[in-house]
Structure formats: structure tokens, C-alpha cells
Amino acid sequence: MSIKKYVTFLKVVESGSLSKAAEALGHTQSGITHILHSLEQDLGFCLMTRSRAGITLTPEGNEILPIIQDIVAANERLQRIVTRINHSGENTIRIATFTSVAVNWLPDMIHEFQKMHPDTHFELVDGGYDEILAQIKSNKVDIGFVTIPNPLSCKCIPLYEDRLLAVLPIEHELASLASLPVHYFESEPVISLMEDTDLDTRTVLNASGIKPNIKFRTKDDYAMIAMVEKNLGICIVPELLLHKTNNRVKVMELNPPAKRTIGIALPAYESASEIVLEFATFIMDWVKKQ
């Protein structure tokens, strides 16, 4: 029998819903139903009943559930061993990341991790959101830093809630406010990232139905802040990006407040090498300690 059928069965049991399992696995709900029906035909008995309340395992389904869990877990271990053998001697971890993480997190993460694994090498791909998603979807990287939610079908792990803040010239007439209402982004000149990298700003403003008065675009986050410093406009940036800046600007809470969820995506989780999985766990622990 195909291991895919077992994985699908476990995902349905885990989520308690055909639709949620379909979303997690990147299938349609009818596709999930077809896979489960095929598995039940292979086995010769019904595994679960479906109702408006959700999924309920039959007695037979309950009996074989732990066995299928063992089979899937054993297959994951097998894939990791095969990958390790085929890539013996390769200690490179390829990471796709956006600027705020590349500048404020990864140098310290890598420095600490290499104390434990000095032979590990890293390749960093720094880009916008669309570039990062493309790298992950094509399996060109082992780990990608992303915002959640996202359209990826691979394993994604949330790490950190990062506030989105307004940045104004320090002498701006609105700088005295306790927080900046987002409607000012329709009347004030706005400095934005290029369209393939401005997801955070678009998410905030679209949520309030705001059409920003964009006067300048740049692909560099720090160039955007430098332009604000020169009184060319205002912008929205994640708080993490501001940790290592010394620009003379006014940083303010947005009204309504906004944030993004930073996470990591593992495009080949089931076949990832041990060093990639260890670094992923290290990332989670490192962020919790900060």
C-alpha cells in the first residue's frame, strides 16, 4: 500500500476534518475522500464515519491507528537515513530569509550553532516574500523564514509575533500623537518597498481599506528608513528591523495595532537531513530564549 494513504489517514485523524486535512496536505477535499476510500478498499473495512460533528474512528480504525502511526514514523526515519547516506559529508544548510531576520537573528543563531557543529556551512538567500516562497516551493533551500499564514503546503512552524510600526520624520507634525491612525497613509507621502516585498504594508493597509499615497519605492528596508529620516515620507516596518538602526526617526504604534507572525518553513521535512532538523529545533529554542 502507498505510504501516502497512511499519511493522509493520519492527517485526517489529527485534524478531525476532511477540509482541514486537505488544506494541510495541499489536496482538494474530494481528493482526500478518494484516498481514504481507496485505503478502506485495500484494507477491506471502514476506518471512520463522517458527520457534521466531524470525524469518528470505527473500532477497526482505532485498532490499526497505532500501527499506521508506527509505519509512517518508520518511513520518516528511513527517508532521513537515506538522505544522510546519499549526502554523506555534506554539512551545508541552505536558508531563505528576509532582511530583518538576516540582520538581527541569523548571525547570532549561526554563531551559537557553530560552537556545537563547527563543520556546518550555511548558504543564505536574502530576498523578498515572493522570492522566498519561490525558493521554498522549488526545494532550493532547506529552511525558509516566512510569515504565517502563507500559501505553502509544507510544514510551517510559528516562532514570533512581531509588531508592525509606523516610522515618521522626527520633526513631523504627527510625531506627537500617541499612535498613528492608518488613514494618514492616504494623505501623507508614503515610502514603500517594491511590490514583491511589501507584503506587510499591504496587509495592514488593505485590512482598513486604505489606498496608500506611495511616492517612493525601494527594495532595501534600510534605504526606506533613511528616506524617512530625510523627510521624504512615512512608512511601515516590522519592529525586528529596527533593532540595529540608529536613524533619527520617530517610531510609533499603528492605530489599529498590527503585527506579523514570523515562522520557518521546511519544504522537505520528511526527508530532511539530521543537521537541518537539528538547526530547525535550535532556531525554535533560540527564539524562545530571546
Q: Is the confidence at residue 186, as pLDDT, over 90? A: yes
Percent residues over pLDDT 90 in the chain: 66
Distance between CA atoms of residues 75 and 69, nearest Å: 10
Domain stop point among 32, 65, 86: 86
Q: Domain residues for 63?
A: 3-86
In this predicted model, what pLDDT tens digit does every residue of 165-183 receive, in sequence order?
Answer: 999 999 999 999 999 999 9
Domain stop point among 86, 119, 134: 86
pLDDT at 55: 86
Asked if 176 and 226 sit in the same domain, the reply is yes
Q: Is the confidence at residue 263, as pLDDT, over 70? A: yes
Mean pLDDT of the chain: 90
Q: How confident is the model at residue 159 (pLDDT cuts 50, 70, 90)?
A: very high
Asked if 66 and 120 sit in the same domain, the reply is no
Distance between CA atoms of residues 12 and 57, nearest Å: 10
Judge whether 103 and 244 are in contact, CB under 8 Å: yes
| CATH number for the domain that contains residue 12 | 1.10.10.10
| CATH number for the domain that contains residue 208 | 3.40.190.10
Q: Is the confidence at residue 124, as pLDDT, over 90? A: yes
Asked if 155 and 275 sit in the same domain, the reply is yes
Distance between CA atoms of residues 250 and 166, nearest Å: 8
Q: Is the confidence at residue 114, as pLDDT, over 70? A: yes
Asked if 101 and 75 sit in the same domain, the reply is no
Residue type, 197: T
pLDDT at 282: 97
pLDDT at 264: 98
pTM of whole model > 0.75? no
CA distances from 232 to 96, 149, 192, 237, 268 (A): 31, 32, 11, 16, 44
pLDDT at 84: 60
Residue indicated by cell numbers 474530494:
30
Asked if 57 and 126 sit in the same domain, the reply is no
All cell numbers assigned to 239:
519592529
Percent residues over pLDDT 70 in the chain: 97
pLDDT at 250: 96
**49-78: b or e for each residue (b if 16 or more CB lie within 10 Å)?**
eeeeeebebeeebeebbeebeebbeeebee
pLDDT: which is higher, 2 or 281: 281
Q: How many domains does the chain have?
A: 3
Q: Which of 159, 154, 157 is nearest to 267 (CA)?
A: 154
Asked if 250 and 179 sit in the same domain, the reply is yes
Asked if 132 and 269 sit in the same domain, the reply is yes
Distance between CA atoms of residues 235 and 76, nearest Å: 45
What's 37-53 look like in SS3?
HHHHHHHCCCCEEEECC
Asked if 142 and 218 sit in the same domain, the reply is no
In this predicted model, what pLDDT tens digit does every residue of 53-103 receive, in sequence order?
Answer: 788 999 999 999 999 999 998 888 887 777 666 655 568 899 999 999 999
Asked if 57 and 109 sit in the same domain, the reply is no
Asked if 251 and 134 sit in the same domain, the reply is no
Domain stop point among 49, 70, 86: 86
In this predicted model, what pLDDT tens digit does every residue of 207-248 receive, in sequence order?
Answer: 999 999 999 999 889 999 999 999 999 999 999 999 878 889
Asked if 131 and 268 sit in the same domain, the reply is yes
pLDDT at 90: 61
Asked if 249 and 274 sit in the same domain, the reply is no
pLDDT at 183: 96
Least confident of 72-81, 126-135, 145-154: 72-81
pLDDT at 130: 86
Distance between CA atoms of residues 30 and 229, nearest Å: 54
DSSP string, 100-137: HHHHHTHHHHHHHHHHH-TT-EEEEEE--HHHHHHHHH
